Amino acid sequence: MSDQIYQAPMVRRATPNFRVIAMIVACAMLMENVDATVLATALPTMARDFGVSAPAMSIALTSYLLSLAIFIPASGRMADSFGSRTVFRSAIAVFVIGSIFCAFAPTLSFLVLARLLQGIGGAMMMPVGRLVLMRSVARKDMVSAMSWLLVPALIGPIVGPPLGGFIVTYLDWRWIFYINVPIGIIGMIFVSIYIDELKGKATGPFDTIGFILSGISLGSMLFGFELSSHDGEGSFSIFLIAIGLLFGIAYLRHARNHPAPIMDFSLMKVPSFGTSVIAGSLTRITQGAQPFLLPLLFQIGFGLSAAAAGQIIISTALGALFMKPLAKAVFRRLGFRRSLVLNGIIGTIGYGLCAAFRPDWSMPLIFIILVLSAFFMSFQFTAYNTIAYDEIGPERMSSATSFYTTFQQLMLSLGICLGALALHGSMTVNGNLVPQLGDFSAAFIVVAVISLTATFWNLRFSPTAGAEISGHAAKAGSGAGH
């Protein structure tokens, strides 16, 4: 019996293909991404059931964001202490339990508390899921695995609205949360079977003060960014962002003197990681703004129904899927640096073309442009998410994944904020009470120009960055030998 117990982990490690592990992690993230966007569609119906105004329901979204901001930084330390499999499986369980409470919520206050609980699970799922992948997949398979992992992040915001519309129209809004239960249970079973328990080495005491400071800072900023897209909330959102910045400065002062800070900014000194964080953050501003601006453009600017707009926006999911099988071959051919520079320019210009969209354009042409833009952007994020960890040692991997995921979430929210500010700014300048086509054009151009500045950072990657992962240097080396 003891021999069987000892052999079990050995069998499990030898069995799973990297695609299996990537898909397990990706499905958990898809559940989370779809849940967030489905909910947005159902808010007016939920408001009627709870007897509150539709704008009051926005707290159901922001409470979840608040949980993410507070708990994402602690995820790496949790994985080191209790093991990545245990924390990942527990995160799915907490998310599912939170979903059940959301489904049974009799009041808005109860729903907000349930969303906070759900957010704790979501905060652990994102970075720990990525950590599981980084620790379980060979470097030569990392590009392919990461491209699988990226699909839910791109598909979730696209699939969510039409699915939410279907559930609200034909079922009950509570099914938004019920559908997470079977998916989560299956996920926990597969995590138990296919993913090994891996722990990191704790380098010092848990950073309680840093956890509080970073939580207040990130929570205030995320909450502030989210509120900035709501009419009449401008002053409060600026106040929250200012609070976030002040506590952020206090955290940085604290982190200098702590042996194991909850967010380790010394990681930014690692060339490939620091450059990927900065360049990826600039590019994610466009990625965050698109799901906010495109549906508004098609519904308000073009006069299309929500269903028709949703059908067009599905193009971005298709672009992400088409990219997946090609990424590895492109990196092998061009290397990371050249791929990031060329692809970043093409992808950003593609999204910038949205500024030229007009109702008299052919819908198939608009669809094709969005498919191609999403293709290049999906490729870009696969590259950033892979190259970031090229020079990170195993002992810092958990800290790096929680750090990277924190900034990723922050910048997607900032993208919504900047898209909304640019749209409202153009409306103010032009004296429009309702956004016109020119206002949408201005907003698309602003976010595209910001993301285009990532090119300067992409040029700072070493020409040999990620050579072992891409296989590009080995090819170049063999050619040099002749």
Model confidence pLDDT, tens digit, residues 434-472: 889 999 999 999 999 999 999 999 999 888 877 777 666
Residue among 192, 84, 68 nearest 129 (CA): 84
Query: Looking at domain 1-197, does it have CATH number 1.20.1250.20?
Result: yes
Cα 149–chain centre separation: 11
Single-letter amino acid code for the residue at 282: L
Domain with residues 266-475, CATH architecture: Up-down Bundle (1.20)
The domain segmentation of the chain, as residue ranges, is 1-197, 266-475
Give the tens place of pLDDT for each residue, 79-112: 877 888 888 999 999 999 999 999 998 988 899 8
**CA dist 74 → 176, 401, 405 (Å):** 28, 11, 11
Cα gap 123→174, rounded to integer Å: 22
Residue among 75, 31, 22, 26 nearest 195 (CA): 22
* Residues 105, 290 contacting (CB under 8 angstroms): no
Cα gap 27→24, rounded to integer Å: 5
pTM: 0.78
Give the tens place of pLDDT for each residue, 115-165: 999 989 988 888 888 788 777 777 777 777 777 776 666 666 667 767 776
> Can 1-197 and 266-475 be said to share one CATH topology?
yes
H-helix segments, 171-233: 175-178, 180-194, 208-227
